[in-house]
Chains A and B, each alone.
Chain A
């Protein structure tokens, strides 16, 4: 009963801020779910006639983006949604979200964050933390490192899975990516395969493709010293945190010290106050989501016990990656379990 009242309070607040409700479908075609962490927990069923697999919606934000993309609306639109999402690891999961589609500037990010703060205030008067990170900053740091492109891509791709991410860093740091004894054998096979028809298909790949990737992999390895240095920079970067006001300076100093050609202006972050109401606002480089939805801004609001209550950010690349029309978007959601 208490949560029902809260639910209505939040919905009312969001609509008052001009976010129009979008009714969402309950099922989603599984081809739109790319995130492996989400895939694990789907309730799926198959339509043999249509040769399609569907799932009960595991996340409302994703649903709203897909539904919005089907409209031809190219104007800036403030959308809200609410309802249950279904995952095997959560019994009930009510979600309320507020999003700005076709967003084009920092003021939209600010509006979403401001709205999130207002929602937090409706829930509790207690102290809390608003942590802001930026995934593009992380990618920029990695792109500036003295590493082959293949390694840069690996690091950025795996940042959502902390355990595996640190395993990769360890491989890079200790230069243990290639097994020299196996490479010796493979080099012999490489010479043999060079004599084959280069268009021949082996396990669905051409010989040409296999050999060209082998050459890149074996002959374009990071130097051990570069590997170590890169890992040190990444680890140091992920430890950066400070009140949001000081973040541009902290980051600029870090980039300068590590000879990274990244410029950051004083107004880089859309919010610059260190405190709003009972919320302390801080920058934290390790504020990285565990789902691959966001690009750029990512933030979360947690209570005194560091339990995340609201999370959100920018997801400008998501619609294109799903094969939908490109939509710049920023939004946030609260999970009422």
Chain B
């Protein structure tokens, strides 16, 4: 009996079909007992005994950190936004050529006097500004690095882009690949507001690298 390897894959969004495609290419057929909506799948062949958990891309990172999973396909942005304690337990094994996007700071298109972070600093000098994001850690580090003061970072749990239109916040930091959602919400990016370029990546729990089967599977999945 082969040892079971647990892999986390995004349950929805753009990452899911491309992640599944990797398995298909490697002739690893995923069987789901309850059909397409099943959140658990299996791959069983003579080489591997794999259990696949379809979870939120963010939860995939947590699963690696607490060893609920051995391997995950998730966004690099989510890994870098997690705490140092989580990051040090995970190895970024290979960058994958999909899920490309950027984490950027956006402002209202009507803020015609604000084009850069320097403008943000100047505006915030008179009255502190609020910035809403799902990426608190990355954003706070970025603002500190660029010496932007008086900007309070708020946590967002839902549709971040709308926060500016409803005056909940003055700025937004979010992942964007085409910029269409931002534009549809009257937002545009700051000239120097690029925080991080991201893509999907194959990640592994460092402790799982001790398992022969995991290493073998990683080699197979990362072969182009």
Contact = CB atoms under 8 A, between A and B. Distances in A.
Contact of A36 (B118, B144, B171): B144
A193 B115 contact: no
Given A36-B149, A168-B118, A179-B191, A202 B144 contact: no
A203 B123 contact: no
B108 interface: yes
Contacts of B115: 178-179, 182
A332 to B, nearest CB: 25
A152 B160 CA distance: 35
A157 interface: yes
B118 A193 contact: no
Given A40-B141, A179-B191, A205 B147 contact: no
Contact of A40 (B107, B144, B167): B144
Contacts of A160: 147
Nearest to B163: A203
Interface in A183-214: 186, 189-190, 193, 201-205, 207, 210-211, 213-214
A15 interface: no
B20 interface: no
B108 A203 contact: yes
Contacts of B119: 217
Contacts of A253: none
Interface in B118-157: 118-119, 121-123, 125, 127, 129-130, 140-141, 143-144, 146-149
Interface in A111-129: none
B121 to A, nearest CB: 7
A39 interface: yes
Interface in A13-41: 34, 36-37, 39-40
Interface centre among B144, B148, B169, by most chain A C-beta atoms within 10 angstroms, is B144
Contacts of B149: 34, 36
B36 to A, nearest CB: 41
A161 interface: yes
B144 A190 contact: no
B159 interface: no
Given A153-B122, A204-B129, A36 B112 contact: no
Contacts of B111: 202-203, 205, 210
Contacts, number: 75
Nearest to B119: A217
A36 B122 contact: no
Contacts of A34: 149
B109 interface: yes
Interface centre among A190, A213, A216, by most chain B C-beta atoms within 10 angstroms, is A213
Interface in A162-182: 164, 168, 177-179, 182
B97 interface: no
A168 B116 CA distance: 11
A205 B128 CA distance: 11
Interface string B157-197: 00000001001011100000000000000000001000000
A158 interface: yes
A203 to B, nearest CB: 4
Given A154-B122, A182-B115, A210 B110 contact: yes
Contacts of B170: 203-205
27 contacts: A34-B149, A36-B148, A37-B144, A39-B140, A40-B141, A40-B144, A150-B122, A153-B122, A153-B125, A158-B147, A160-B147, A161-B147, A168-B118, A179-B191, A186-B112, A189-B110, A189-B112, A193-B110, A202-B111, A202-B167, A203-B164, A204-B130, A210-B111, A210-B113, A211-B113, A216-B113, A217-B119
Which are the 6 A-B pairs with shortest beta-carbon distances? A214-B113, A213-B113, A186-B112, A36-B144, A203-B108, A161-B147
